[in-house]
Structure 1
């Protein structure tokens, strides 16, 4: 029997066939929509690729900018430079954070940090290109004293890396990544302009009384940073973190513990060995164009060296630069707020008044109160972050290879941190009790920062 053609189907069967056709068409279109959705989504690993991408671009940038600052004239102001590199570390993390699976923005962790730009979650990004653009932009926006030639070198460095990326990545992805990195850089810069950072001493009146700091010889410079306490730290924690009082009261009595502490600095200065002098000079930094590394270049060189030795990938490196940057900034915030709280005179003033009127410290004493220590105030929390992240591992510091100095080797990060502290005693800048106390408050701050959870454990 021949099958019936469509015209001869019953009305009921024709309705049934039409319904089946509509259902088939709907199913077909729905399936196509689902397929389109799959292809519109980025590959599963593209939003987590920063954990696999090389961090070489970041390491090269930090080394590159250190060379530029080495020859900047005049040299960058230490406290301002530390603050700027702290913002740069945070911005670097934000520029690659979407490429770290499950990572959260630091805007959810830091004090009064605004929300950061978001990438298009349906597009591919090369996070190294985003970091490249963000760093180039932040260096130009945040670092002071850059010449036109410096700016041109920064642009050339950025272009060189983009050309390298183009060997394996499309122009569209690189352009998209650049746009995102620069958007983050601008957001970070705009946030930085609201932190009330002020190094001026205009309007500041020196407190009077026994043991009070006064401008010290040989320069008798005006105080630096008395109003930093009014600036915004990165952490709400830092608003209430405090330096404990001096372990014993100020005294001019020759039998007192304070006199003994000052006499210890004096006695050490009279018998400094060549090695102790070398240690004091190694950690002095700065000192003029082409003489020493402007701070925090030396510290960042150590951070970079440890990251490279551990073969840290882009996401991991960005997190460490962010956390060590936070440690630098808030370490100085706490220290300088409390320097002007305790307002303790430096050894050079006390010793000239009560022990030897002709004495000068081996290194020039900086223009601010003695307690707690600025140097240990930002080295110690950074070192503690590194210990928490990598363990108390051996470290080689090769920061001064460019001037022909042999590298210094340490059995642990703790050993390096101890030498940093003692370098200021050898230099005649600090009492030993100050270094001990400052290392402890730095350790507590570093532990707090290291425990900030940014990625799934």
Structure 2
């Protein structure tokens, strides 16, 4: 099938999944003829010219689950994406006698391997494994979405099983389940297993003092995931995390670095250009969306499809991006609650303009460092390592929400735009984003140093 035709099918199917998942009743969406969920999911198995269609179909469904499952805030979503990718990698790459992540990732000592001299269908094994790990990672999925998991698993299997004998099919299914079970058991010991149930723990009491975070208007929510930074990262750093990344010293002196940084946010909000406003809204990815990690996963999936990666290459890239997102969330949240820095709205209203408001809603956790910058920095440098520093691409993932596709000359452009978007939105200081980009880059380096 021609690449253009495949690309068109990919976009149309993504629109459909977005329509099924959309929680925003007033969001503008493309005019698409009604298609049954059954035929849509079956069509996903025919997404690509190769067997990478299997993980692509599962990631599209996982994005829907992130949107619709309660409690899947950005770090929780990143965690689910990571364990899904590791499961895929250990089935496919290790199955084909490539390097295992067990023994390399923190606490992952053993993952079952396939029987020697036995035949397997790796796409069938991947389908079985991804179905099981996603069921485990989204235990609060709706009955409808649990049924979609079962249906997609069956549709993919039906599309693939004609290519091999029954004993190969059965062996492949069982192997996938064994790997998924091992990865899930490992996941339960990382500290984040029940994060979706308790984003706002009532036992956390934020510190009080000048320059420290307090709940922000309009909702004045409690602090989100204050203990997430204590979770086990997947890649144990060879050297300690950055020990000296303090933000500028808090001060209300108008000549101070801190005041000037806050005043820059204030002034930027007052003079936003249409393009800056668009950038802020494009990268917002707030509640009820696929979240910033989901946005980056969706870009990765689009590139896997556009570039027609085979199953093994796709498995490697999805694992790398997932690990990077997970560890970005842990390290960023570690710094957020280590420094507990107040948000721009708090500082600006107290010291510059009591009526000031940001363009987008301020999230319920401390400002420093920026999650967007850290997530996008980690992912962007991982993608650049695979596709090249000068690789240009167009992000189509926000079209279902009414945005025009957004093009980038390279991944660094994407990183910088996502990072500055939070300053344009009025919810981060510029130093939040600059440090976030650097820590994201550091995490990417750790991830890429592993053997795949």
Task: Return the TM-score normalized by structure 1.
Answer: 0.83
Structure 2 distance, partners of 1:136, 1:119, is 18
Assess, with a 3 A threshold, how the Cα gap between structure 1 residues 336 and 287 changes in structure 2: closer, same or farther: closer
Q: Deviations over 1:5-59 (max 9, x none)?
A: xxxxxxxxxxxxxxxxxxxxxxxxxxxxxxxxxxxxxxxxxxxxxxx96311111
- The structural deviation recorded for 1:97 is 2.2
Aligned match for 2:369, one of 369, 372, 379? 372
Matches within 5 A, 1:255-404: 255-288=255-288, 292-392=289-389, 393-404=391-402
Structure 1 distance, partners of 2:50, 2:239, is 37
Assess, with a 3 A threshold, how the Cα gap between structure 1 residues 367 and 67 changes in structure 2: closer, same or farther: closer
Matches within 5 A, 1:118-129: 118-129=113-124
Unmatched 5+ residue regions in structure 1? 1-51
Assess, with a 3 A threshold, how the Cα gap between structure 1 residues 257 and 107 changes in structure 2: closer, same or farther: same
Query: Across the two proteins, how many residue pairs are aligned to each other?
Result: 398
Contact residue 238 and residue 334 of structure 1 kept, 8 A: no
Structure 2 residue aligned with 1:252: 252
Contact residue 373 and residue 438 of structure 1 kept, 8 A: yes
Q: Deviations over 1:296-325 (max 9, x none)?
A: 321111111222233211111111111111
- The structural deviation recorded for 1:98 is 2.9
Secondary structure at the counterpart of residue 428 of structure 1: coil
Matched, 1:406 2:404: yes
Contact residue 99 and residue 315 of structure 1 kept, 8 A: no
Structure 1 distance, partners of 2:394, 2:140, is 30
Structure 2 residue aligned with 1:26: none
Assess, with a 3 A threshold, how the Cα gap between structure 1 residues 272 and 206 changes in structure 2: closer, same or farther: same
Contact residue 233 and residue 239 of structure 1 kept, 8 A: no
Structure 1 distance, partners of 2:85, 2:417, is 25
Aligned match for 2:440, one of 433, 442, 445? 442
Matches within 5 A, 1:1-400: 54-70=51-67, 72=68, 74=70, 76-101=72-97, 103-197=98-192, 198=195, 199-237=199-237, 240-242=240-242, 244-246=244-246, 248-288=248-288, 292-392=289-389, 393-400=391-398
Secondary structure at the counterpart of residue 76 of structure 2: helix
- The structural deviation recorded for 1:144 is 4.3
Is the radius of gyration larger for structure 1 or structure 2? 1
Q: Deviations over 1:325-364 (max 9, x none)?
A: 1111111111111111111111010001000111121111
Assess, with a 3 A threshold, how the Cα gap between structure 1 residues 285 and 244 changes in structure 2: closer, same or farther: same
- The structural deviation recorded for 1:268 is 0.7
Structure 1 distance, partners of 2:249, 2:293, is 33
Structure 1 distance, partners of 2:64, 2:328, is 25
Contact residue 243 and residue 441 of structure 1 kept, 8 A: no
Structure 2 distance, partners of 1:442, 1:76, is 21
Contact residue 389 and residue 450 of structure 1 kept, 8 A: no
Q: CA RMSD in A?
A: 1.9
Structure 1 distance, partners of 2:382, 2:286, is 24
- The structural deviation recorded for 1:178 is 0.7
Assess, with a 3 A threshold, how the Cα gap between structure 1 residues 238 and 271 changes in structure 2: closer, same or farther: farther
Q: Deviations over 1:116-157 (max 9, x none)?
A: 012111210010111111111111110243111211111111
Structure 1 distance, partners of 2:334, 2:385, is 26
Identify the range of structure 1 (145-154 vs 119-128) with the bigger mean alpha-carbon deviation: 145-154
Structure 1 distance, partners of 2:160, 2:218, is 53
Contact residue 81 and residue 143 of structure 1 kept, 8 A: no
Identify the range of structure 1 (425-434 vs 91-100) with the bigger mean alpha-carbon deviation: 91-100
Contact residue 262 and residue 348 of structure 2 kept, 8 A: yes
Structure 2 distance, partners of 1:91, 1:109, is 14
Q: Deviations over 1:68-103 (max 9, x none)?
A: 544x264633321211111111111111123334x2
Task: Give the ranges of 4+ consecutive aligned residues of structure 1 lying more than 4 Å apart after TM superposition.
Answer: none
Contact residue 75 and residue 294 of structure 1 kept, 8 A: no
Unmatched 5+ residue regions in structure 2? 1-48
Structure 2 distance, partners of 1:97, 1:375, is 30
Structure 2 distance, partners of 1:243, 1:336, is 15
- The structural deviation recorded for 1:167 is 2.3
Secondary structure at the counterpart of residue 394 of structure 2: strand
Structure 2 distance, partners of 1:394, 1:144, is 38
Structure 2 distance, partners of 1:264, 1:371, is 16
